[in-house]
Structure 1
Amino acid sequence: MSARTHPSTRSTAAGLDTRLPWWALALPVAAFIVLFLLIAGPGKAHAIGGDPAVGHVLERIQQTLSL
């Protein structure tokens, strides 16, 4: 059983009219800006003097993955 296809209401004589909603461009631009600011501004980042065991665990994981 075949289904009927309805013509698009946004079709023009030259072809389909491809319009994006405003958020389809705004969200990727906002995400790019936030990530760029996180990468570009590491001057205020400070290392936390925490438990040295965590550092040893991370070193072991890095050694294991580099094999």
Structure 2
Amino acid sequence: MSARSHTRRDSADQAKPTGIEIQLPWWSIALPAIAFAALLLLILNPADAHAASSEPAVTDILERLRAMLSLAA
């Protein structure tokens, strides 16, 4: 199997820009834009971010577990 050899381009051809066109799928633009908008909304209204609440959910679970264990004993 023979391989094709590379041909040299004219210097006049090198000066002309080639029309390379890159096509992206729609979701490659939409998903980062949606993620950026969601993060921006969380920054603008941090009360909607439940992870930033004053009492974490882990504390609530541990309190309920302790109460259940004290009832069982």
TM bracket (short chain): 0.3 to 0.5
TM-score by length of 1: 0.44
TM-score by length of 2: 0.41
Largest Rg, 1 or 2: 2
